[in-house]
Amino acid sequence: MTSPLKSFLYGLTLLASSVLSAEEVVIGSSPAQADLKLGCMYPLSGSSALWGRDAVAGMKLALTHLATKKKTAPQITIYISDTMGKAYRSREITQQLLTHKKVDALCGVVNSAIALETSRIAKKKQILFLGAGHSTSRTTEEELHPWYFHLNNDASQSMMAGALYLQELQKTDKWKTLSYIGPDYEYGHQIWQKLTQSLDALGVKYQINDEFYSLHNESSYGTYIKAIASNPPDILINGHWTQDLVRFVEQANNTGLLQQSRFANFDTGGGYFALSRLQDSLPDGLILSARHHINWPETARNQEFIDHFYQQNNRLPTFVAQDAYTVIIAIADAWQQSPEKSMASIRQTLEGLKLSLPEDPVGFQSYIDPATHKIMQVQAIGVTRRSTDKETLSVKLADWKIYYPEPFHYDR
């Protein structure tokens, strides 16, 4: 047997076994009674399972919220399939959700590349895809189509907020140089591209010392840290997330890099996952932000969301929980507001839809930009500081700076 043939057969076996072993969670009303059927894709097993589990928990909270607060809300059945973080599985699952489950809309996807691929399928099949969990802005820019809506702040929004923060910081800190390190895939590239575009758009003067892209799930960042430290920037922009972010910060802190350069992660670093995993490894003064924070905004809605999540899961929510929560609230609101209850009508209703979410600060309501299909939300950026509230986290974000969506009102 030739080795290519062996490889072929081996691949087929793996594919078959992985698809057959695919985990699926079904929540909400029974399919027979459902007004809407959603097919969502999240990793429910493997190293990224936490995100999928939080997404499921977030959607459950949203369903509870609808059941208690909105009597006219639709009955929704949600199929959540395990992508295992693999692209080939996601494609297969998408097909299964569409053909077997006959879902009305797709949602989810953490990985940006898979999101783009799923978005193309949605475009081709003319089925609604409510993106939640990924950050690439390509889905709402170069790859934008009528059936895709991005329901969390994407890289362009978080990086514009980051650029504004850096612009402000430059006035006091007189920083001049930046270096970047992020993961070597769509998300990591987008973060840096969008940040430099935003800085250029704002007219911020800066120099780039270095730019590095690490392999996903890199175990040691020693080579990168050494390279960055050999020409330390004033500010080190980081585009990692999940375990990559945790490992990098731990190793950078141990080698003293975080004392040499100011660290900033504007997209995911301020989320509960990174803060809870790093805790005492986080020095004061890191500039972090995420799509959802456990101590901002200090509103009853956010606290209620966090408390309910904690009661049901015995842990605090990551930002993916909020992303998935938003999907359910958005589709439910759109269904309610849609006159014909058809998916075409719902799609149209989503354009410009206003919705109240836990992460909205007082006086602000999230909305979906009809032109870009992006949800427009406030981006809050904070700085790490020791916390006296040891019950939740020993390090929390403070000194918040709040950036409203375009035209980017700046509020201290």
Partner 1 sequence: MESSIPAQEPTRSQSIRFWENSIVRRYFFLSLLVTFIPLVITIFLYDRLTGELQQNIDQQRYQLQLKQVKSEMTSMLQRHQTALRAIASLPDIGKLLQKDVQLSSATLNLIYFDIDRPEIYGALFFSHQWQLKQALPGQSASGSPYWNGDTFSIEQLPKIQIGSDWLIGPQPPLRGKSGWYLIARQIEALDQGKESPGYVAFQVRLASLTSPLTILDSEQSGYGCLKTSSNSCFSSLAGLKPPSKNTISSVNFLSNWQIQLNPDVSFQQASFYQESQTSQRGLYMAVAIITLTLVSLFFTALVARTRRRIQPLIHGAEAIADGHWNHIIPSTGHDEITQLTRSLNRMAEQLKSLMSARIQMEKKVTQGDFATGVAHEIRNPLATIKVCLQSLPLSSNNAQATELKQLMLEEIDRINQLIQNLLDYSKPPKPLTHQIDCSALLQRVLILVEPLAKEHSIALTLKTSDQTQCKADPEQLHQVIMNLLLNSIEALSGTEHGQIHLHCYQQNDKAVITVTDNGPGISETDQKKVMEPFFTTKTSGTGLGLAISARLVELNNGQLSLSSRGADQTSNQLDSGTTAILTFNI
Binding part of the chain for partner 1, among 54-62, 113-121, 279-287, 356-364 by CB under 8 A, reads: 113-121
Look at the chain and count its residues: 412
Residue 289 corresponds to which amino acid?
S
CA distance 140 to 123: 12
Q: Which is nearer to partner 1, 235 or 378 (CB)?
A: 235
Q: Which is nearer to partner 1, 141 or 351 (CB)?
A: 141
CA distance 298 to 306: 11
Binding part of the chain for partner 1, among 6-14, 21-29, 299-307, 359-367 by CB under 8 A, reads: 6-14
Q: Report whether 381 contacts 288 (CB < 8 A).
A: yes
Task: Give the dihedral sign, CA 317/320/324/325.
Answer: positive
Binding part of the chain for partner 1, among 57-65, 66-74, 218-226, 258-266 by CB under 8 A, reads: 218-226
CA distance 185 to 190: 9
- 14 sits near partner 1 (criterion: CB under 8 A): yes
- 247 sits near partner 1 (criterion: CB under 8 A): no
Partner residues linked to 208 by β-bridges: 178
Residue 30 corresponds to which amino acid?
S
Q: Which is nearer to partner 1, 182 or 317 (CB)?
A: 182
With CB under 8 A as the rule, give the number of residues binding partner 1. 46
CA distance 320 to 54: 6
Binder of partner 1 out of 1, 3, 68, 388 (CB under 8 A): 3
Q: Which is nearer to partner 1, 178 or 286 (CB)?
A: 178
Helices and strands per DSSP (H, E), number in the chain: 13, 17
- 12 sits near partner 1 (criterion: CB under 8 A): yes
We find the least distance from the C-beta atom of residue 3 to partner 1, in angstroms, to be 6
- 184 sits near partner 1 (criterion: CB under 8 A): yes
CA distance 336 to 193: 38
CA distance 181 to 162: 15
Q: Which is nearer to partner 1, 11 or 370 (CB)?
A: 11
- 201 sits near partner 1 (criterion: CB under 8 A): no
CA distance 136 to 159: 11
CA distance 357 to 369: 16
- 216 sits near partner 1 (criterion: CB under 8 A): yes
Q: Which is nearer to partner 1, 111 or 338 (CB)?
A: 111
Q: Which is nearer to partner 1, 60 or 194 (CB)?
A: 194
Q: Is 326 exposed, middle or buried (0-12, 13-18, 19+ CB in 10 A)?
A: buried
Binding part of the chain for partner 1, among 45-53, 166-174, 212-220, 351-359 by CB under 8 A, reads: 212-220
We find the least distance from the C-beta atom of residue 344 to partner 1, in angstroms, to be 25
Binder of partner 1 out of 60, 65, 101, 138 (CB under 8 A): 138
- 211 sits near partner 1 (criterion: CB under 8 A): yes
- 8 sits near partner 1 (criterion: CB under 8 A): yes
Binder of partner 1 out of 37, 53, 189, 291 (CB under 8 A): 189
We find the least distance from the C-beta atom of residue 217 to partner 1, in angstroms, to be 7
CA 30 to chain centre: 28
Q: What share of the chain is helix, strand, coil (3-state, %, to 5)?
A: 45, 20, 35
Rg (Cα) of the chain, in Å, rounded? 21
CA 132 to chain centre: 7
Q: Is 178 exposed, middle or buried (0-12, 13-18, 19+ CB in 10 A)?
A: buried
CA distance 144 to 119: 9
Closest CA to 356 of 57, 36, 66: 66
Q: Which is nearer to partner 1, 23 or 141 (CB)?
A: 141
Q: Which is nearer to partner 1, 224 or 309 (CB)?
A: 224
Cβ neighbours of residue 29 closer than 8 Å, sequence gap 6 or more: 75, 76, 77
Q: Which of residues 47-106 bind partner 1 (CB under 8 A)?
A: 85-88, 91-92, 95
Q: Which is nearer to partner 1, 35 or 210 (CB)?
A: 210
- 308 sits near partner 1 (criterion: CB under 8 A): no
Binding part of the chain for partner 1, among 43-51, 221-229, 274-282, 308-316 by CB under 8 A, reads: 221-229
We find the least distance from the C-beta atom of residue 4 to partner 1, in angstroms, to be 4
Note the residues at the interface with partner 1 (CB under 8 A): 3-5, 7-8, 11-12, 14-15, 85-88, 91-92, 95, 111, 113-114, 116-117, 138, 141-143, 184-186, 188-190, 192-193, 196, 208, 210-213, 215-217, 223-224, 226-227
